Structure 1
Amino acid sequence: MEKIASFKAYDIRGKVPGDLNVDLAYKVGKAIVKYLNAKKVLIGMDVRKSSPELAEALTKGITENGADVYDLGLCGTEMIYFGTPHLNADAGVMITASHNPPEYNGLKFVKKGSVPMGYDSGLSEIEQMVLKGDFEVEGVQKGKVEKIDIMNDFINNLKQFYDAKKINPFKVVVNAGNGCIGPALDTLEPLLPIKMIKVFHEPDSNFPNGVPNPLLPENRQPTIDALLEHKADLGVAWDGDYDRCFFFDEKGNFIEGYYIVGLLAKSILKKNPGEKIVHDPRLTWNTIKEVEAAGGEVVQSVSGHAFIKQKMREVNAIYGGEMSAHHYFRDNYYSDSGIIPFLLILQLMSEENKTLGRLVEEMIAAYPCSGEINTKLENPAAKLEEIKQKYSDGKMETLDGVSVEYENWRFNVRLSNTEPLIRLNVESKGDRKLMEKKTQELLNLIRS
């Protein structure tokens, strides 16, 4: 079956204009209306230079097939997740490539009620409609376009997740990375008792301070510098479309998303005992321990937003967390948010009267991890097979890439869905030296 290279596991993504361009966006706009029989479609975009032209082409395709467009303009992905059910739209499309380099862009889709649309749940059908030119809807009147501002509704909806009266007057460094979150933080700021120290706050498509991807160690320093200079209590940095947030403790240490999953799960279960928590297979031991100790039930899912949300709906999980800093909430239409974890951590630090460093120090000591290490390879799939052969004596699982478990350490390797990368995660039981040794051993094999 013929395929289009930019159609990935859970979105359309690629370099502009080679992999993704106005012609493809126009056809996809038409196909989405026909496939979903949509009458109203919500669209929004991130700050990338190519986003406005893709939005225009997408809008043209949608309206020519008879559907109306609600246009949010510049926004975060989670505003699409909120806005689609809030406005009772039949679909939502976010134009974003999140943390990818500036020459990339993408289209991320949700159906009615913000049910995600991945390759196995609609995108493959859209792809075939585009390839066959089977996307026209005959005999319809052209749809209308309405520019709409739902920022206040979006921010007010977040109040169900936190209580501002229970948050201490912390000093917090917030680094928008010149992505989209600046305007949302400005709207949220008057509702919180904290003092925000703003870094790279203005949206800027030139990304003058680098692509907003705090997973890259070189992108973390500005947050750390501001935190130490202002003697702040906490640092938070977001990716470009702010569906992920990353935390720094009071000493400027970057806290892996893995430990934030354990922390949020424990905090949520304290108020909601017995609930189910979904996690990904990359790093697991700490999450399992924290959830079971708090009386919850763990459920494992393939990584990626479409898969996690689907699993959460299947088992009615209250929360889902990925070590890549995606956090999903049942009461947020099962969607991921980069703002809710920020609010929950502020409240947790206040209620426990502990710094973030103190809240996670025992977890870090009990299950030290490598963090995700990416390696660009020409043939990552062949390397994955080589790794399976070498570590065939361990307890192996292939739900998502390859996970191998030994008594005192485990690892996961998987292929990126969006780039020619192999991703490695290693953890151990309380033995940092072992974790570091095994990480190096695996990297030597991967890069040989």
Structure 2
Amino acid sequence: MSTSATTSYQPAMEFNAITINSFKAYDIRGELGVNLDEDIAYRIGRAFAQILYQRYQAAIENKTNDMADLKPAIVIGSDIRHSSEQLKQAAIKGIMDAGIDVIDLGMTGTEEVYFATSYYQALGGIEVTASHNPINYNGLKLVKEHSKPISADDGLAEIQALAESGQFTTDNQSGQLQLLTDKSAYIDHVMTFIDIDKLKPLKLIINSGNGSAGPVVDLLINRLTQAGAPIEIITLHHTPDGSFPNGIPNPMIEANRLATQQAVLENKADLGIAFDGDFDRCFLFDENGVFIDGSYIVGMLAQAFLNKYPSESIVYDPRVIYNTEAVIEAHNGNAVISKSGHSFIKQIMRESGAVYGGEMSAHHYFRDFFYCDSGMIPWLLTIELLSITGKTLSELVTGYIQSYPSSGELNFRLTTHDAPTIISAIEEKFSIDNPTKSLLDGLSLNFGEWRFNLRASNTEPLIRLNIESRGDHSLLASKTQEIQQWLAVQGAVPA
């Protein structure tokens, strides 16, 4: 669909300096009416467009080849939250007032903005979403040319400063707005990741959590059906609904997994799939309804990619590493570790040319998807892998879990000390054992047969703990209990 459109938001006539405290390390997230509203979204959209266009003009003047084919336009989409459309309209007005054209993608997931930014050769893209945050929150995820991330030290702070100052250029002709909601090109691209002819009969449960995933799932089901793939799909909480009648779509919360687990068992399905609100994360359940921790999915997909692309690089984060590193070594890949967070992973992937990157938080990144994360590609790759190997998901990951058990991510709220104080104290506590230390992302201490990572969250007021061992489940249990008890003494309360 392609139509011209207009935006209804009208900004203030004058812009006083304000403080905007919804900017995070690599995105914008805030509580509605507290540190995020339509006026702030307008300022962010206008600052974003102005800064990107200035960079574009400088690149053209300097004949920078990687920007020569770009168009002075920004793509934008929004999730299903009730506040998202209004925030999107405000951001659109800001972009247009900066003199930049806008391509409105309609209701989308974040990865659709990633795709469209590169597909339409735009200067950048915005997804209005709060992902899995509470219903009274929202935010904006920003990317620049070629779907590259923007972080605090690579443009985001500059955007914040301009948005806060309100010192916008005023001599630009207003940009034009176009509505392009056809998802065909995006679906075409996603489907290139698998060979449909290799698919064997499988029954799937797909839980969209009443988020933005439903329409895309429908389109993928149609493609699979048209191609004659013997895949039966049962949808759950499928209709997009910004009131989230079945709870905020966040499968990281154990209580939110129950519906998918029950549906897998009741329907005797081969695989359960669940998404967060903007479906940039994909969560998998085996044929027994067991939730599979994301770190083991990283190992499984790393193995699948190395089977297809020998000796390629695989990027992973430092929270849980034993299994991933063992898989990469066994399949002659090149292991590349990166700080957690999408902007860091994507940068390291581009630098190393990695074919795949994964985080235990269920973010999966693909070189052939502009080095971006996708929630749709992982489950398609998984059904292809189940079909090719003839194994169940539990059979594919049981060896990983037994060889390298982990605690899963444990979250704590701090009531007495701040995160740096806690991290420094725990380093001192274990220094007597002379572990191998890494400060790449928080604190990682490796004792040979077990290790842990303790880090402050980039998006929430939490510290996050992960512990793993080399096949010793008793050691894992004892060390997990020991560190949890120590944290409790320091005033760290389980979240």
TM-score by length of 2: 0.88
SS in 2 for 1:331: helix
Counterpart CA distance in 2 for 1:18 and 1:47 is 20
TM alignment of 1:45-444, pairs within 5 A: 45-134=78-167, 136-192=168-224, 193=229, 194-378=231-415, 379-392=418-431, 393-444=434-485
| Paired amino acid for 1:140 | N
1:18 to 34, 53, 64: 34
Deviation string, structure 1 residues 117-156 (Cα, Å, up to 9, x no partner): 111111011111123222x223211111111113111111
Q: Deviations over 1:383-415 (max 9, x none)?
A: 222222212232211100111111211111111
State the Cα distance separating 1:4 from its structure 2 match: 3.8
For the pair 1:31 / 2:72, whether they are aligned, the reply is no
8 Å contact from structure 1 (residues 44, 94) kept in 2: yes
Q: Which structure 1 residue ranges, 5 or more long, are not aligned?
A: none
| Equivalences, count | 446
- Distance in 2, matches of 1:201 and 1:188, equals 14
d(CA) in 2 for partners of 1:62, 1:446 = 46
Query: Looking at CA atoms only, which structure, 1 or 2, has the larger radius of gyration?
Result: 2
Q: Distance between the aligned counterparts of 1:218 and 1:269, measured in 2? A: 35
Residues 195-220 of structure 1, C-alpha deviations (whole Å, 9 max, x = no match):
11111001111111111110110000
Is contact 1:66–1:141 with CA below 8 Å preserved after alignment?
yes
User: Hey, what's the Cα distance between the residues in 2 that align with 1:311 and 1:377?
Assistant: 31
Provide the C-alpha distance between the structure 2 equivalents of 1:207 and 1:381, rounded to a whole number of angstroms: 36
Question: Per-residue deviation at 1:20?
Answer: 1.5
Structure 2 residues not aligned, in runs of 5+: 1-17, 57-71, 490-495
Q: 2:20–2:40: 8 Å Cα contact kept in structure 1? A: no
Q: Secondary structure at the match of 2:164?
A: helix
Query: In the TM superposition, what is the alpha-carbon distance from 1:447 to its structure 2 partner?
Result: 2.6
Q: Which moved more, 1:12-21 or 1:307-316?
A: 12-21
Distance 1:415 1:20 in 2: 23
Greater shift in the superposed pair: 318-327 or 47-56: 47-56
CA contact (8 A) 1:375 1:447 kept: no
TM-score by length of 1: 0.97
Q: Report the Cα distance in structure 1 between the residues aligned to 2:257 and 2:115, rounded to whole angstroms.
A: 29
Task: Give 1:415's aligned amino acid.
Answer: A
Shift of 1:19: 1.8
Deviation at 1:440, TM superposition (A): 1.8
CA distance in 2, matches of 1:372, 1:216: 11
Q: Moved runs in structure 1, 4+ residues, more than 3 A?
A: none
Cα distance, 1:191 vs structure 2: 2.1
- Paired letter, 2:182: I
Kindly state the Cα deviation for residue 419 of structure 1 after the two structures are TM-superposed: 1.0
Looking at structure 2, the residues matched to 4 and 376 of structure 1 have their Cα atoms a distance apart, in angstroms, of 24
Deviation at 1:3, TM superposition (A): 7.0
Please state whether the residue corresponding to 1:18 is helix, strand or coil.
coil
Superimposed CA distance per residue, residues 217-257 of structure 1 (whole angstroms, 9 cap, x where no aligned partner): 00000001000000001101011100110010001111001
Preserved contact between residue 380 and residue 420 of structure 1 (Cα < 8 Å): no
**Pairwise CA RMSD:** 1.3
Instruction: For 2:289 and 2:46, locate their aligned partners in 1 and report how far apart those are by CA, in whole Å.
Output: 48
CA distance in 2, matches of 1:256, 1:206: 28
Secondary structure at the aligned position of 1:447 is classed as helix
Deviates more, 1:223-232 or 1:387-396: 387-396
Distance in 2 separating the partners of 1:88 and 1:61: 20
Shift of 1:102: 1.1
Do 2:365 and 2:372's aligned partners in 1 also have CA atoms closer than 8 Å? yes
Q: Which amino acid letter does the alignment assign opposite residue 452 of structure 2?
A: F
Matched-pair contact (CA < 8 Å) for 2:450–2:467? yes
